Chain A
Amino acid sequence: MTAVAHVAPPRSLSTAVHHTLRLMQRSVLGRLRQPAALAPSFIFPLFFAALGSASFQRMSKLPDFPATSFLNYTAAGAIVQGVLFAATSSAGDLATDIEQGFFERLLVSPVTRTAIVIGRLGSAMVVAIAQVFVFLGLFMAFGARIEGGVAGFIGLTVAGALLALAMSGLMSGIAIRSGSPEVVQGSFPMVFALLFLSSSFFPRQYMTGWYKTVASWNPMSHIVEGMQGFMNQPLDVDQFLRAWLIPFGIAAVSIGFGLRALSNRLAAQ
């Protein structure tokens, strides 16, 4: 393994971009080749959305409900849920690469180090964009409307991609630090808590007590509410600030965490 340190990674930007794209492609193909691993990130959000819209449709008739139907309300939550599930699963693949030795083979090749992480994050963004397309297509087929029009659709797509970047940065950092798929899966309850202790499934104004306080502090509530704005209201700067800027800020920190984890792993070798 000492030989790893002697292989000087290429410095040219175009080579780095090329490596990133190839590793991104590999990661996307890896996801597509494991439909059983990818399916839950599509099935569960759609199931919960169908369940919610059939169970809570009556709530949408209340005068202060933030959407015209529960289906319209729940679309953003379903996208967020799918993106978070997929990001966790993608990081699990990275940990599997480490566990099975593919990661070390990458290190002995002259591949750009950052491409190993950025390629994985890029693939999470590609999957997230596909999820937004599939989810919105299905929701619209069942009668949902994007009130923000084409710009709202773009707003949702970019928000989904940025959230994927943020979460997969964090999860990839955990994967690289631990090198264990079990540890990555073990962090899933954190994702679950982030989702449920937010307004992803139900409007915040109907919550009460400490639960409402926690949901109000949870950044996921603000991200999902920005995305719900694209679905249910005319375009507004506030929607972009919440749905784009918050995940962008989290992404900046989480990518730093992921790269730092990579750097520490390289130093340890």
Chain B
Amino acid sequence: MSNSLVSHGGNPFSVSSALVRRTMLRVRRMPAAFIPSIVMPVFQLIAFSGAFGAAVRLAGVKNAMDWYVPLNGVQGASFGAMGVSFGLINDMQTGFFDRLLMAPTKRWALIVGPMAGSIARAALPLALVILIGFAGGMNVPGGPLAIVLVVVAASGVALSASAFALGLTYRMRNMGAATLTQFAIFFTIFLSTSQVPLSNMAGWLHAVARVNPMTNVLRLARQGLLGDVTWNGTWGGLVALAGMLFLSTWFALSGLRSLEK
């Protein structure tokens, strides 16, 4: 690993791609740590569409899978962030991260690598969720673009969540960072239109979900499964993803700087 970094002379893109390969190597070497991030989204998709199907059908959704595939795709993608956090803590404990800091490369490469790795980690759970959605009779009135938008939303959330996980881990430098990341992602996703549309919500949840950027992200991901893909249903989600990505990347970069001080 270190040899490959040195041989590329610190080119940040090479360093980033080497870190992506390292992420995938960790998945291969520790499958037990990766399996829950595959099983949980699939199980939740089955459980939510089985248990809460009547509630979303009452809201006018034809098939519960149309509502819950984007949710569980996005959630499954976000699980990669915990892997990023665990990997970083492990690297800090073993001293590998100190060696990375001494490498003659741009600092952003150390952040972009694990973030891109989280997309690679998200690919399998996302693909499984979509396949099970099709098996469960998911409708795709928006055509192939509908699936593209699910992938875009899930990838954006994976990138933001992993950047947030990095920022938190740089600051806390212990396993608590992974737990806190998990809590933050969990609450952000569930305090949105995760279960039912805004129009079906009551009281405090409606107020919170309305301003939660995840609501726009889920609208972006769901639109092609519930109807046609329109610019009106797209731009809000793209803005939310861009905002989340900008803030979380800034959080990660400032965390890395504080670590070096």
Binding site for B on A (CB under 8 A): 47, 50-59, 189, 192-193, 196-197, 201-202, 206-209, 211-212, 215
Query: SS class of chain A's interface: helix, strand, loop or mixed?
Result: helix
Q: Hey, which chain A residues are within 8 Å of B144, CB to CB?
A: none
Indicate if the CB atoms of A58 and B54 lie closer than 8 Å: no
- The A-contacting residues of B in range 145-189, CB under 8 angstroms, are 187
0/1 interface trace, chain B 102-139, chain A, CB 8 Å (1 if under): 00000000000000000000000000000000000000
Show 8 A/B contacts (Cβ-Cβ < 8 Å), sorted by A.
Answer: A51-B190, A54-B202, A59-B54, A189-B39, A196-B43, A202-B55, A206-B53, A207-B54
- Interface contact B202-A208, CB-CB below 8 Å: no
Q: Output the least CB separation between A86 and chain B (Å).
A: 18
Give Cα A269–Cα B196 distance, bound, in whole angstroms: 55
Q: B interface, how many residues as a size bin? A: 20 to 34
Q: Does B58 contact A (CB under 8 A)?
A: yes
Pairwise interchain contact B43-A55, C-beta atoms closer than 8 A: no
Distance to closest chain B CB from A268 (angstroms): 26
Q: Is A202 a contact of B43 with CB atoms below 8 Å?
A: no
State in angstroms the CA–CA spacing of A209 and B36 once bound together.
26
Let me know if A192 and B43 touch, CB within 8 A.
yes
Q: Does B246 lie at the interface of the complex (its beta carbon under 8 Å from any beta carbon of A)? A: no
How near does chain A come to B154, taking the closest CB pair, in angstroms?
22
| B interface, CB within 8 angstroms of A | 36, 39, 43-44, 46-47, 50-55, 58, 187, 190-191, 195-196, 200-206
Which residue in chain A gives the minimum CB-CB distance to B59? A58
Beyond A196-B43, A201-B52, whether A58 also contacts B203 by CB under 8 A is: no
For A199, the closest partner residue in chain B by CB is: B51
Tell me the bound Cα distance from A55 to B58 in angstroms: 12
CA distance A53 to B196 in the complex (A): 12
User: Chain A residues with Cβ under 8 A from B58's Cβ?
Assistant: 58-59
Q: A54-B202, A55-B200, A197-B47 are in contact. Are A202 and B52 (CB under 8 A)?
A: yes
CB of A206 within 8 A of CB of B54, answer yes
Candidate in B36, B47, B191, B206 with the most chain A CB atoms within 10 angstroms: B47
Chain B residues with Cβ below 8 Å from A212 are: 50
The answer to whether B47 touches A207 (Cβ under 8 A) is: no
Beta-carbon contact of A56 and B196 below 8 Å: yes
**Within 8 Å CB of A206, what residues of B?**
53-55
Additional A-B contact list (10), CB under 8 Å, known A55-B196, A189-B36: A51-B191, A51-B195, A54-B201, A54-B202, A54-B203, A55-B195, A55-B201, A56-B55, A59-B55, A207-B50
- Once the chains bind, are B195 and A56 in contact (CB under 8 Å)? yes
* Contact status B39-A55, CB under 8 Å: no
| A208 CB contacts on chain B under 8 angstroms | 53-54
A48 to chain B, nearest CB (A): 8
Chain A residues positioned under 8 Å from B190 (CB to CB): 47, 51
CA distance A52 to B202 in the complex (A): 10
A57/B51 in contact, CB under 8 A: no
- Least CB distance from B196 to A in Å reads 5
Residue of B nearest to A182 (CB): B32
Q: Is the CB of A54 within 8 A of B50?
A: no
Complex interface: chain B residues within 8 A of A51 (CB): 190-191, 195, 205
**Chain B nearest CB: distance from A171 CB in Å?**
19
Contact of A54 among B39, B43, B52, B204 (CB under 8 A): B204
Cβ-closest chain B residue relative to A196: B47
Closest-by-CB residue of B relative to A212 is: B50
A197: nearest chain-B partner, CB-CB: B47
Nearest CB in chain B to that of A209: its residue: B50
B47 and A55 contact, CB distance less than 8 A: no
Q: Give chain A residues whose Cβ lies under 8 Å from the Cβ of B203.
A: 54
Residues of B within 8 A of A56 (CB): 52, 55, 195-196, 200
How far is A146 from B206 in the complex, measured between Cα atoms in Å?
27
In the complex, A227 Cα to B6 Cα: how many Å? 64
B205 partner residues in chain A, CB cutoff 8 A: 50-51, 54-55
Q: How far is the CA of A56 from the CA of B195 in the complex (A)?
A: 9
Q: In the complex, which residues of chain A have a beta carbon less than 8 angstroms from the beta carbon of B196?
A: 55-56
Is B54's CB under 8 angstroms from A57's CB?
A: no
A193 and B43 contact, Cβ closer than 8 Å, known pairs A51-B195, A55-B205: yes
Distance in angstroms between the alpha carbons of A206 and B52 in the assembled complex: 8
**In the complex, chain A residues whose CB is within 8 Å of the CB of B204:** 50, 54
B53 neighbours in A (Cβ, 8 Å): 206-208, 211
User: CA of A173 to CA of B49 in the docked complex: distance in angstroms?
Assistant: 33
Determine whether the beta carbon of A207 is less than 8 Å from that of B200.
no
A55 touches B55 (CB 8 A): yes
